[in-house]
């Protein structure tokens, strides 16, 4: 019998027809084993000159439409994502010795979807979304604290609405690669790409 334990390398017979099914399986494994932030992913974008940048965000929703995270639409990353409509990310789960890499197009989610997620956030995080002009210079942390106090006073006793400059992005994958650590750097890699009929086709890659 083939060993399909989570410690095993990734074998061809462990692949699923739909990569989102395999991702969901790995994601649940990560939630059970990672010490911190199993939903952390490094998002890469490029500016108008082609200079790349990367930063960590948290995956909040996933479906067969794509992978969703939320951020300030006026931040550096948002400016780059909106300008190019392209993104890539990687999720690395150290405890499992696995990673998933995704490349695809990116677009904003609907206002209704952003509103729904924003309403689930802790009040302090909702205040912070108003107070921080993300990615812009600030002289001292005291200035940020003062901005938080101003927003707290503004919304005292009432629900904190979603700022118009804050919301979600969805990355719609064109390729999804699964990587499992192997002995002597002989890793297992399978890349899924959709064919012309929209079916996902997996190809094993050299490590």
Chain segment 55-67, per-residue pLDDT in tens: 999 999 999 999 9
pLDDT (0 to 100) of residue 183: 87
User: Above 50 in pLDDT, residue 6?
Assistant: no
- Each domain of the chain, given as residue ranges in start order, spans 12-110+165-205, 120-161
29: which DSSP letter?
Answer: H
Q: Are strands 61-63 and 52-58 parallel, antiparallel or unpaired?
A: unpaired
Look at the domain 12-110+165-205 and name its fold. Pnp Oxidase; Chain A (2.30.110)
pLDDT per position as a tens digit, 139-162 = 999 999 999 999 999 999 999 999
Section 31-35 average pLDDT: 94
Q: What Cα–Cα distance (Å) separates residue 127 from each residue in 86, 124, 198?
A: 30, 5, 42
Residues 6+ apart with CB under 8 A from 117: 60, 61, 70, 168
pLDDT per position as a tens digit, 155-192 = 999 999 999 999 999 999 999 999 999 988 899 999 99
Strands (E), 47-124: 52-58, 61-63, 66-72, 86-93, 98-108
User: Above 80 in pLDDT, residue 5?
Assistant: no
How confident is residue 12, by pLDDT bands cut at 50, 70 and 90?
confident
Active site residues: 185
Put simply, whether the predicted model's pTM sits higher than 0.75 gets the answer yes
């Amino acid at each position: 019998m083939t060993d399909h334990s989570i410690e095993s390398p990734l074998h061809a017979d462990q692949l699923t027809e739909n990569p989102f099914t395999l991702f969901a399986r790995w994601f649940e494994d990560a939630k059970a084993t990672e010490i911190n932030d199993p939903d952390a992913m490094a998002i890469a974008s490029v500016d108008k000159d082609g200079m790349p940048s990367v930063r960590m965000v948290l995956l909040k929703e996933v479906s067969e439409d794509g992978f969703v995270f939320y951020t300030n639409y006026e931040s550096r990353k948002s400016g780059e994502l909106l300008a190019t409509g392209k993104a890539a990310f990687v999720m690395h789960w150290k405890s499992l010795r696995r990673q998933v890499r995704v490349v695809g197009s990116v677009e904003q989610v609907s206002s209704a979807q952003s509103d729904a997620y924003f309403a689930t956030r802790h009040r302090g995080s909702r205040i912070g979304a108003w107070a921080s002009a993300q990615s812009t210079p600030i002289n001292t942390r005291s200035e940020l604290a003062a901005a938080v106090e101003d927003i707290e006073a503004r919304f005292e006793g009432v629900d904190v609405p979603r700022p118009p400059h804050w919301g979600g992005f969805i990355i719609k994958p064109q390729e999804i690669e699964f990587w499992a650590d192997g002995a002597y750097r002989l890793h297992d890699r399978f890349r899924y790409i959709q064919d012309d009929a929209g079916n996902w086709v997996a190809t094993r890659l050299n490590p």
